[in-house]
Structure 1
Amino acid sequence: MAFLARLNRPWIHFIVLGLALFELQRWAFPEPKPVIGPLAPARVDSLRQQWLALAGSPPSEEQLQGMVAQELDRDMLFQRALELELHLYDQVVYQRLLRNMAFLQMGEGKSEQEIYQQALDMRLHLGDEVIKRRMIQVMEQLLLAARPPLPVNEVDIAAEFESRREELRRPPRYSIEQLYFNREREDEVPAVVERIQSEGLSAEQARSLSSPFLPGYVFRQQTPDQLARNFGAAFVLNLQEAIPQAGQWVGPLRSTYGLHYVWVEAIEPSRDATLEEVRQQLERDLLSRRRATALADAIADLREDYEVRTS
């Protein structure tokens, strides 16, 4: 009872009432959140032009809104980095501002620290895209440090391997030697082929009968994609349609450049990849996806601290 009596003091009632009123005020009148956006029309148009340059067609409204959302996220991360004053402790920012000041021919006779402080006073860090990208990168690293992605274990790798078995299938590989005939010499091809067959010439022996071919004449263990880089897609299609057999001549086959008479030395058929062959790739892909997911979740949480305006 003595304890309760001690609590029955006007000054204690005043403190409790004050705290209650303070909390009530915070609940009824919260601090306004920092505002991010909306993007200026010029920036939206710039995003639209970037898409057009890369895709060859204008973005859909959904695609444009996706780009706008990403840009607003970048602005938010940059704003958060500035609030944390990360730019004051980053050497990339420091050196970038010094270079900018040198380009502007300002700060003559001053020390580097004085020039750097002058650049900050001029707020040059706010309009520099290199600094913005750097600060966004640092913020992403901080967010991931606070919410690291889940580690990848053997069970994850095995499951990923099974789900992507067809995608990871190893393509066939061809070991070939070829004789090339440019368009001016295509009429000679039947006679050359007949001579090779009648005299039993090897590809190396018959090479002097063909035209020079800049990529070369011998190609070992080449995938279809690798052959296409040297001969073009039409050549690969014609080679596959000929159903080549190891130890036989094929052709002549047409490519973008002319005709090719091809000696097939060996063919490694397409096959399933082994887990060990693709383990590192699978682990990288899983980590990359989990990092992207963890970062997206962290950015979504960060949005709760801001008022993001899309329009």
Structure 2
Amino acid sequence: MFSRFFRDPLFAFVVIGAAVFLADLLWQEGASDAVVVTQGDVDLLAELWSSRMGRPPNPTELQDLVDTHVTEEVMVREARRLGLDRSDPIIRRRLAQKLTFLVEDLAALEPPGEQELQTWFEARRNEYESRATVTFDHIYFRGDDGHEAALAARADLKDAETGRWRELGDPSLLARSYNAASRDGVCGDFGPAFCDALDGLTAAPTWQGPLASTYGSHLVRVIRKTPAGLPEYEAVRERVRADYEQELRIQAGAELLEDLHERYQVQLPTSGRAM
């Protein structure tokens, strides 16, 4: 019960709003010309530098970081004093975006349990169906006489394990070997006629064909065919977790938007112009 309560976007919005209001109130009450840089600020600046550069800053670099931080702080304070943060579309969009991110992150704070994930997976199992794939080698022969050339080459390829097959055929931009290729991928490279013919072949150590493609003729050695299938939960567990948490974030954002529309009274112009 409590986990659902904390995931409620309206609850998150109230908490965030209260925190922002309190921070703004404290800032206004304590506002002065003093810019206080704490040791924690310095440590954070140094940490951010190290994460980008792969090493800690030297004393000169650290002083530059602090100076830049102070300059940014005084500029932000003066901009706020002049009201430059109001009615700015970029700032408005950024604030709305930050609120959305905060609510989405709060929605995924509590890790889901295994039973919860499995139940969610079973309801969407078809979405995780693995595609059918084929692994094969091919030798390409171009031109009108490619079919006859392929037949002659197949007669010479008695030893399926020899590497001599790579020296046969004509050069092309197609890969010689395809590993776990999808039907769509094969069709995109070779054309639908080749795909249909490949569907009718079984995995075998011998060369089969010739098969006609958009470009010519091919000898094919089918190494492995993997049919489409529905996976077990354990095989896609991490993917299911990521998808589940993403759905929570999207749902939280949608609920927040709905709650906000109910919270605020929206007044639109009464003119007859299209909105």
Classify the TM-score, shorter chain. Answer: 0.5 to 0.7
| Partner deviation per Cα, 1:77-130 (whole Å, 9 max, x = no partner) | xxx9xx9699x9xxxxxxxxxxxxxxxxxxxxxx5555545655373774454x
Q: What amino acid is aligned across from residue 251 of structure 2 in structure 1?
A: T
Q: What amino acid is aligned across from residue 171 of structure 2 in structure 1?
A: P
Q: Is the 8 A contact 1:254 1:260 kept in 2?
A: yes
| Partner deviation per Cα, 1:52-81 (whole Å, 9 max, x = no partner) | xxxxxxxxxxxxxxxxxxxxxxxxxxxx9x
For structure 2, which runs of at least 5 residues remain unmatched after alignment? 1-16, 28-70, 269-274
Q: Does 1:227 align with 2:158?
A: no
Secondary structure, aligned partner of 2:126: coil
Q: Does 1:289 align with 2:247?
A: yes
TM-score, length-normalised on structure 2? 0.58
- How much does 1:238 deviate? 3.6
Identify the residue that residue 41 of structure 2 maps to in structure 1: none
For structure 1, which runs of at least 5 residues remain unmatched after alignment? 1-79, 89-110
Q: Is the 8 A contact 2:138 2:219 kept in 1?
A: yes
Identify the residue that residue 156 of structure 1 maps to in structure 2: 116
Secondary structure, aligned partner of 2:228: coil
Q: Does 1:308 align with 2:266?
A: yes
Q: Is the 8 A contact 2:157 2:207 kept in 1?
A: no
Distance 2:107 2:179 in 1: 47
Secondary structure, aligned partner of 1:140: helix
Structure 1 residues 216 and 144: alpha-carbon distance in aligned structure 2, compared to 1, 3 A threshold: closer
Distance 1:166 1:147 in 2: 26
Q: Does 1:249 align with 2:210?
A: no
Q: Does 1:142 align with 2:98?
A: no
- Tell which deviates more after alignment, 170-179 or 192-201: 192-201
Identify the residue that residue 173 of structure 1 maps to in structure 2: 133
Distance 2:194 2:234 in 1: 33
Q: Is the 8 A contact 2:146 2:217 kept in 1?
A: no
| Partner deviation per Cα, 1:144-169 (whole Å, 9 max, x = no partner) | 46666775222232223333333323
Q: Is the 8 A contact 1:179 1:207 kept in 2?
A: yes
Secondary structure, aligned partner of 2:223: strand
What is the alpha-carbon root mean square deviation over aligned residues?
A: 3.7
- How much does 1:229 deviate? 5.6
Q: Does 1:187 align with 2:148?
A: no
What is the 5 A alignment of 1:68-87?
Answer: none
Identify the residue that residue 4 of structure 2 maps to in structure 1: none
Q: What amino acid is aligned across from residue 177 of structure 2 in structure 1?
A: V
Alignment match of 1:214 (pick from 173, 179, 183): 173
Q: What amino acid is aligned across from residue 175 of structure 1 in structure 2?
A: T
Distance 2:103 2:190 in 1: 48
What is the 5 A alignment of 1:4-43?
Answer: none
Higher Cα Rg, which structure? 1
- How much does 1:208 deviate? 2.9
Structure 1 residues 179 and 186: alpha-carbon distance in aligned structure 2, compared to 1, 3 A threshold: farther
Q: Is the 8 A contact 1:119 1:125 kept in 2?
A: no
Identify the residue that residue 9 of structure 1 maps to in structure 2: none
- Number of aligned residue pairs: 205
- How much does 1:279 deviate? 0.9
Indicate the percent of aligned positions where both proteins have the same amino acid. 26
Structure 1 residues 145 and 166: alpha-carbon distance in aligned structure 2, compared to 1, 3 A threshold: closer
Distance 2:195 2:86 in 1: 53
Q: Is the 8 A contact 1:231 1:256 kept in 2?
A: yes
Structure 1 residues 210 and 126: alpha-carbon distance in aligned structure 2, compared to 1, 3 A threshold: farther
Distance 2:169 2:251 in 1: 56
Q: What amino acid is aligned across from residue 290 of structure 1 in structure 2?
A: L
Q: Is the 8 A contact 1:245 1:264 kept in 2?
A: yes
Secondary structure, aligned partner of 1:308: coil
Q: What amino acid is aligned across from residue 273 of structure 1 in structure 2?
A: P
TM-score, length-normalised on structure 1? 0.52
Secondary structure, aligned partner of 1:200: coil
